[in-house]
């Protein structure tokens, strides 16, 4: 009798459980996206610039996305390639998105060891445009771009310019810049902005092609010769652009967010709208200035178009300088 | 000087406020735990706590994260001594003698001396941080790629001394370490090496999983092989150090403080490197170098002192230039950035209260850690009495957890397993594991700085001899290596004693 009773209870419980489960499932599909936490893949180390920026987004995320949290997932390695690949291979249900960097994804997609294509991403938004700049140490005898050119000619190809590389905006940029200025320089590759900056401050390289974000940490120790953007930047108003000095050189690093390409259009739409609201929030912009990253919003469509254009451009540059 | 003191006192006032004291304590406690768990290092520990910075106010949060960082250096020695598993890379040399001491029943002595040495070196190097930070930071800038290369050569000269019975086998082991490090992307050209198109191999082999394999898994494999269930036959003796022990080890503590602190000033010199150098220094100047590797307490004191001194040293370039000297500090830098606290000379001017509160909290933290760790010694030492069949699976679980937690990849657990087997074979064939690990740790900076230097000099290797600092460092390395080889071959008796060392 007791056994039968137990069996009965068991059956009742299991049925109840099944009902609950199916109930959950049907509720899930009807519910607005997102109905559970969203995974955020970061392709660089925790505490790095990409992570710090995404953490700022996180502060405003819940408000736009149904009060669901972001869960950070660091997939680090191979200059970001590991994490970027993870994004393209993730389940396209909208519950995995990730941070992407341009031109990193472009060069990696063009490399002979590519593990993804730029078309494998569904672009959500661009959030940062960090322009490149040419800088020397504070007490360097070089005071402007002309001094730099003169010094480079004097050293006859032996002038050391620190860059972050390989296959980066800096790496390609230094070749383009040298061509534009009709000089020869010797690029010295560093693994990250930190060791690049310290080598310049220690006088171990003559100049560097760096980023606005990195020199903002320690403006007093640098002399910035020119900014590789269309207009002057409000944070360093005194620094002229290359364009002002009749040099056609524009380069930057961009950060944005993407999902795997087969994501449902309505979910992608929701993500794009949410990011648009976050990126135009004055509080968000204040936070971005605090972390020293130049905020520059582009919609998913615009960002995608930029990546396509950059890819065409990059192909010819890679061939021209034999970077492969 | 006086101004610094008054600022420091101000800092103490903030650091000792109940809330900050509490978070400092939490940081130290978590750091100790993270240090004890193999593999889960300060880097992943700080990264895991980083989201908390969105809730806490900056001073409390950074005090906690910093506490976690130097606290991990205290905890790292525990498993190295007790079960031959270095909790952190920096405790690899500690395991060499610490584990032997534990098997002789002197686990208590080794543990308490490790804690005392950590405290002494930690506190002394904080004085260096307090009074000389800006000047020292300028000194660190003198180190460009050629100087780093020379420093790596100097660190490599340690290999000769870590080789045990056969110099050849030690060198082979070291070369294998270099080979393993070359897997993945070439840092200068981006070309993939030995990756076979596998994305996991493209990102390189993480040395934490290699260390876990070579130490933890190997240790368990070779213990399982033996029938004896009791790995620790001897009774526990001498839980606390005697005054004579303190007097005997004090000079070594001071020396390793100096080594650890000054090398810690250089970005890229992680505690893992300095603890090897400190261990080697003690072995070299010792009257009985043959005792090292058989349970010499100095072999525990030196690396533990050095790695704590390095953590304080690392704060100098971090605060003065915003340059992290290792991955853990890079994550901490991210924490600072999230608060909009841009490190650099202006940090001291703009956020002086904050900086001095953090520095003061580190003095407090060192005391907390000593008080926290010494009573635990008895408890930890009892761990030796846990029957091995129970202990071993637990150790394995934590090891794999640690290997996984570095990059959250199952691949790394596989690597730990593979290196467990490799380590077991190496043990059978008498190849020492330490040279492999040291070379694996050094290889990255060795290669990068070599290529950068040659690129700076248009391929002319004379650059290393034309710059005074690098010239001196390379000469010291050559003299040290030459001297070690000379004693090895000129004094067969001593060489014979060395044989004991690798068991």
Task: Give me the pLDDT at residue A152, please.
Answer: 94
**In terms of domains, do A119 and A201 share one?**
no
Task: Give me the pLDDT at residue B501, please.
Answer: 43
Of residues A146 and B163, the one with the higher pLDDT is: A146
A47:B47 CB<8 A: yes
A81:B199 CB<8 A: yes
Tell me whether residue A182 is in a domain: yes
Q: With a cut of 70, say whether residue A316 has pLDDT above it.
A: yes
> Closest-CA residue in chain A for B268?
A195
Enumerate the H helices of chain A as residue ranges. 2-30, 49-64, 81-89, 104-110, 145-155, 169-181, 193-201, 212-215, 265-279, 282-290, 300-321
**Count of alpha carbons within 13 Å of B495, Cβ hemisphere only?**
12
**Distance from C-alpha of B494 to C-alpha of B491, rounded to nearest angstrom:** 5
Q: Can you name the residues that pair with A260 across neighbouring β-strands?
A: A121
pLDDT band at B495 (very low <50, low <70, confident <90, very high): low
Q: With a cut of 70, say whether residue A151 has pLDDT above it.
A: yes
- From B141, B333, B451, residue closest to A198, measured CB to CB: B141
pLDDT band at A267 (very low <50, low <70, confident <90, very high): very high
Domain end: A193, A223, A245, which one?
A245
**In terms of domains, do A136 and A237 share one?**
yes
Tell me whether residue A3 is in a domain: no
Give me the CATH number covering residue A309.
3.40.190.150
Tell me whether residue A216 is in a domain: yes
How many residues appear in chain B? 503
**In terms of domains, do A184 and A108 share one?**
no
| Token duo for residue A217 | 């940490």
Mean pLDDT of A144-168: 91
Indicate the DSSP class of residue B215.
I
Domain end: A207, A222, A245, which one?
A245
Q: How many structural domains is chain A composed of?
A: 2
Q: Residues A80, A71: contact at Cβ < 8 Å?
A: no
> Which residues lie closer than 8 Å to B191 by C-beta, 6 or more apart?
B185
B42 touches chain A (CB under 8 A): no
- From A115, A217, A291, residue closest to B322, measured CB to CB: A217
pTM confidence score: 0.81
**Count of alpha carbons within 13 Å of B47, Cβ hemisphere only?**
25
Least confident of A112-126, B140-154, B262-276: B262-276
A81:B202 CB<8 A: yes
Residues of B in contact with A198 (CB under 8 A): 141, 267, 317, 321, 323
**In terms of domains, do A64 and A116 share one?**
yes
Domain ranges of chain B: 2-501
Backbone angles phi, psi at A14, to 5 degrees: -60, -45
Asked if this assembly's ipTM is beyond 0.85, the reply is: no
Task: Give me the pLDDT at residue A17, please.
Answer: 52
**Distance from C-alpha of A173 to C-alpha of A179, rounded to nearest angstrom:** 10
Tell me whether residue A29 is in a domain: no
Domain that holds residue A241: 130-245
Q: With a cut of 70, say whether residue A320 has pLDDT above it.
A: yes
Q: Residues A195, B330: contact at Cβ < 8 Å?
A: no
**In terms of domains, do A157 and A223 share one?**
yes
pLDDT, tens digit (0-9, with 9 covering 90-100), for B209-241? 898 888 888 888 888 887 655 555 556 666 778
pLDDT, tens digit (0-9, with 9 covering 90-100), for B326-375? 778 888 888 887 787 877 767 777 788 888 999 999 999 999 999 888 88
**In terms of domains, do A142 and A228 share one?**
yes
**Distance from C-alpha of B62 to C-alpha of B337, rounded to nearest angstrom:** 11
How many residues appear in chain A? 324
Measured between CA atoms, how close is B220 to chain A, in angstroms?
Answer: 30
Task: Give me the pLDDT at residue B502, please.
Answer: 41
pLDDT, tens digit (0-9, with 9 covering 90-100), for A227-262? 999 999 998 999 999 999 999 999 999 999 999 999
**In terms of domains, do A236 and A184 share one?**
yes
**In terms of domains, do A186 and A269 share one?**
no
Task: Give me the pLDDT at residue A264, please.
Answer: 93
Of residues A95 and A6, the one with the higher pLDDT is: A95
pLDDT band at B425 (very low <50, low <70, confident <90, very high): very high
Measured between CA atoms, how close is B372 to chain A, in angstroms?
Answer: 29
Burial classification of residue B221, based on how many CB atoms lie within 10 Å of its CB (0-12 exposed, 13-18 middle, 19 or more buried): middle
Rounded to the nearest 10 degrees, the angle between the axes of helix A300-321 and helix A265-279 is 90
Tell me whether residue A11 is in a domain: no
Backbone angles phi, psi at B144, to 5 degrees: -100, -175
**Distance from C-alpha of A313 to C-alpha of A315, rounded to nearest angstrom:** 6
Tell me whether residue A27 is in a domain: no
Mean pLDDT of B140-154: 88
First to last CA, chain A: 78
**In terms of domains, do A185 and A232 share one?**
yes
- From A51, A78, A216, residue closest to B185, measured CB to CB: A78
Tell me whether residue A273 is in a domain: yes
Task: Give me the pLDDT at residue A128, please.
Answer: 95
Q: With a cut of 50, say whether residue A211 has pLDDT above it.
A: yes
**Distance from C-alpha of B480 to C-alpha of B254, rounded to nearest angstrom:** 21
**Distance from C-alpha of B19 to C-alpha of B300, rounded to nearest angstrom:** 35
Q: Residues B297, B104: contact at Cβ < 8 Å?
A: no
**Distance from C-alpha of B182 to C-alpha of B176, rounded to nearest angstrom:** 10
Give me the CATH number covering residue A206.
3.40.190.10
Domain end: A245, A275, A305, which one?
A245
**In terms of domains, do A48 and A155 share one?**
no
pLDDT band at B493 (very low <50, low <70, confident <90, very high): low
Strand pairing of A160-164 and A186-190?
Answer: parallel
Q: Residues A261, A88: contact at Cβ < 8 Å?
A: yes
Task: Give me the pLDDT at residue B368, please.
Answer: 93
**In terms of domains, do A226 and A143 share one?**
yes
Tell me which range, A29-33, A301-305, B134-138, is most confidently predicted by mean pLDDT. Answer: A301-305
Buried-state track A258-283, b at ≥16 Cβ within 10 A, e below 16: bbbbebeeebbebbbebbbebbeeee
Of residues A72 and A4, the one with the higher pLDDT is: A72
Tell me whether residue A14 is in a domain: no
**In terms of domains, do A122 and A177 share one?**
no
């Amino acid at each position: 009798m007791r056994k039968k009773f137990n069996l009965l209870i068991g059956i009742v419980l299991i049925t109840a459980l099944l009902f609950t489960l199916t109930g959950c499932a049907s509720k899930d599909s009807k519910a607005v996206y997102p109905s559970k936490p969203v995974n955020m893949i970061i392709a660089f180390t925790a505490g790095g610039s990409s992570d710090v920026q995404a953490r700022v987004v996180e502060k405003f995320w819940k408000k736009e996305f149904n009060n669901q949290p972001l869960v950070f997932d660091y997939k680090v390695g191979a200059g970001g390639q590991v994490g970027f690949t993870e994004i393209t291979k993730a389940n396209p249900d909208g519950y995995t998105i990730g941070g992407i960097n341009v031109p990193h994804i472009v060069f990696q997609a063009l490399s002979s060891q590519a593990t993804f294509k730029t078309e494998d991403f569904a672009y959500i938004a661009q959030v940062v445009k960090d322009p490149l700049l040419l800088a020397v140490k504070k007490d360097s005898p070089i005071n402007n771009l002309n001094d730099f050119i003169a010094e480079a000619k004097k050293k006859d190809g032996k002038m050391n310019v620190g860059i972050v590389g390989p296959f980066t905006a800096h790496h390609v940029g230094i070749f383009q810049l040298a061509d534009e200025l009709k000089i020869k320089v010797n690029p010295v590759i560093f693994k990250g902005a930190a060791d690049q900056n310290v080598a310049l401050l220690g006088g171990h390289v003559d100049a560097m092609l760096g980023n606005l974000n990195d020199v903002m940490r320690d403006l007093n120790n640098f002399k910035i010769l020119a900014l590789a953007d269309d207009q002057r930047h409000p944070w360093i108003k005194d620094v002229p652009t290359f364009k002002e000095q009749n040099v056609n050189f524009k380069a930057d690093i961009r950060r944005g967010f993407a999902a795997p390409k087969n994501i449902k259009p309505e979910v992608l739409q929701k993500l794009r709208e949410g990011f648009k609201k976050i990126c135009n929030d004055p509080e968000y912009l204040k936070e971005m200035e605090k972390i020293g990253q130049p905020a520059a919003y582009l919609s998913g469509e615009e960002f995608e178009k930029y990546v396509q254009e950059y890819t065409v451009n990059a192909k010819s540059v890679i061939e021209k300088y034999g970077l492969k | 000087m006086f101004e610094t003191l008054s600022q420091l006192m101000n800092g103490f006032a903030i650091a000792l406020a109940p809330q900050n004291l509490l978070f400092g304590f939490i940081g130290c406690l978590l750091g100790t735990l993270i240090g004890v768990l193999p593999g889960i290092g300060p880097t992943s520990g700080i990264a895991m706590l980083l989201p908390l910075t969105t809730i806490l106010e900056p001073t409390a949060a950074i005090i906690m994260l910093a506490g976690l960082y130097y606290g991990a250096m205290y905890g790292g020695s525990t498993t190295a001594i007790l079960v031959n598993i270095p909790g952190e890379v920096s405790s690899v040399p500690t395991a060499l003698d610490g584990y032997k001491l534990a098997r002789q029943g002197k686990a208590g002595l080794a543990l308490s001396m490790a804690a005392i040495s950590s405290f002494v070196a930690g506190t002394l190097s904080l004085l260096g941080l307090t009074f000389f930070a800006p000047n020292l930071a300028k000194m660190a800038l003198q180190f460009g790629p050629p100087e780093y290369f020379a420093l790596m050569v100097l660190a490599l000269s340690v290999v000769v001394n870590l080789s045990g019975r056969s110099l050849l086998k030690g060198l082979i082991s070291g070369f294998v370490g270099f080979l393993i490090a070359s897997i993945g992307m070439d840092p200068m050209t981006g070309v993939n090496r030995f990756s076979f198109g596998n994305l996991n191999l493209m990102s390189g082999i993480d040395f934490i999983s290699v260390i876990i394999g070579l130490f933890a898994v190997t240790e368990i494999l070779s213990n399982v092989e033996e029938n004896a269930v009791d790995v620790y036959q001897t009774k526990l003796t001498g839980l606390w150090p005697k005054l004579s022990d303190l007097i005997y080890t004090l000079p070594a503590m001071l020396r390793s403080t100096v080594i650890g602190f000054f090398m810690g000033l250089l970005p890229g010199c992680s505690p893992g490197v300095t603890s090897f150098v400190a261990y080697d220094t003690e072995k070299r100047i010792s009257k009985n170098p043959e005792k090292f590797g058989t349970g010499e307490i100095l072999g525990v004191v030196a690396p533990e002192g050095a790695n704590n001194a390095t953590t304080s040293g690392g704060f100098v370039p971090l605060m003065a230039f915003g340059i992290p000297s290792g991955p853990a500090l890079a994550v901490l830098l991210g924490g600072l950035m999230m608060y909009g606290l841009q490190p650099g000379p202006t940090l001291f001017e703009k956020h002086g209260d904050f900086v001095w509160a953090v520095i003061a909290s580190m003095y407090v933290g060192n005391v907390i850690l000593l008080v926290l760790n010494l009573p635990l010694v008895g408890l930890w030492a009892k761990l030796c009495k846990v029957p091995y069949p129970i202990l071993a699976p637990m150790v394995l679980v934590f090891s794999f957890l640690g290997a996984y937690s570095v990059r959250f990849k199952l691949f790394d657990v596989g690597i730990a397993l593979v290196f467990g087997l490799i380590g077991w074979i190496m043990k059978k064939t008498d190849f020492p594991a330490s040279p492999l690990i040291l070379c694996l740790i050094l290889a990255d900076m060795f290669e990068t700085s070599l290529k950068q230097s040659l690129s700076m000099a248009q391929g002319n290797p004379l650059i290393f001899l034309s710059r005074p600092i690098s010239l001196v460092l390379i000469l010291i390395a050559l003299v040290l290596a030459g001297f070690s080889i000379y004693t090895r071959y000129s004094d067969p008796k001593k060489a014979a004693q060395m044989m004991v060392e690798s068991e």
